[in-house]
Chain A
Amino acid sequence: MPDLGFDTLLKGKNFARLLGGLGVALKISLVSVLISIVLGTVLGVLRQRENLLLKAVMKLYLEFIRIMPQLVLLFIVYFGTTRSFGWNLPGETAAVIVFSLWGTAEMSDLVRGALISIPVHQYESAAALGLRKTQTYLYVILPQAVRRLIPLSINLITRMIKTTSLVVMIGVVEILKVAQQIIEANRMSSPNAAFGIYLTVFAMYFLACWPISILAGKLEKRWR
Chain B
Amino acid sequence: MPETILEISHLRKLYDDLRVFEDLSLTVHEGEVIVIVGPSGCGKSTLLRCINALEDIQGGEIRLRGEPVSKENRNLQSIRQKIGMVFQNYELFPHMTVLDNIMLAPVKAQGRKKEEVREEALDLLKRVGLESKADSYPRQLSGGQKQRTAIVRALCMHPEILLFDEVTAALDPEMVREVLEVILDLANQGKTMLVVTHEMQFARAIADRVIFLDEGRICEEGTPDGFFDEPKTERARKFLNTFTFERKGAKN
Contact = CB atoms under 8 A, between A and B. Distances in A.
B105 A144 contact: no
A223 B96 CA distance: 11
Interface residues of B, number: 24
Q: Which of A127, A128, A129 has the most CB of B within 10 A?
A: A129
B85 interface: yes
Contact of B110 (A130, A144, A147, A223): A130
A129 B92 CA distance: 11
A128 B52 contact: yes
Interface residues of A, number: 18
A125 B80 contact: no
Interface string A113-138: 00000000110111111111001000
B108 A128 contact: no
B110 A128 contact: no
Given A127-B54, A128-B52, A130-B77, A140 B109 contact: no
Given A121-B87, A139-B104, A130 B95 contact: no
Interface in B106-157: 108-110, 153-154, 157
Interface string A139-160: 1100110010000000000000
Is the contact region of chain B dominated by helix, strand, or loop, or is it mixed? loop
A132 B77 contact: yes
B81 interface: yes
B89 interface: yes
A129 B154 CA distance: 7
Contact of B54 (A128, A131, A147): A128
Interface string B150-185: 000110010000000000000000000000000000
A160 B54 CA distance: 43
Interface string A150-190: 00000000000000000000000000000000000000000
B109 A128 contact: no
A128 B93 contact: no
Contacts of B54: 124, 127-128
Nearest to A135: B108
B91 interface: yes
A83 to B, nearest CB: 51
Contacts of A143: 95
B95 A128 contact: no
Q: Which of B78, B87, B95 has the most CB of A within 10 A?
A: B95
B95 A127 contact: no
B91 A130 contact: no
B47 interface: no
Interface string A93-118: 00000000000000000000000000
Interface string A191-224: 0000000000000000000000000000000010
Nearest to B153: A129
B136 to A, nearest CB: 16
14 contacts: A124-B87, A125-B92, A128-B52, A129-B105, A129-B109, A130-B80, A130-B109, A130-B110, A131-B108, A132-B77, A139-B108, A140-B104, A144-B93, A144-B94
Given A122-B91, A131-B77, 11 more contacts: A121-B87, A124-B87, A125-B92, A126-B93, A128-B52, A128-B83, A129-B104, A129-B157, A131-B104, A131-B108, A139-B104
Closest 10 CB pairs of A and B: A130-B81, A125-B91, A129-B105, A130-B80, A128-B85, A130-B109, A130-B77, A121-B91, A131-B109, A143-B95
Interface of A: 121-122, 124-132, 135, 139-140, 143-144, 147, 223
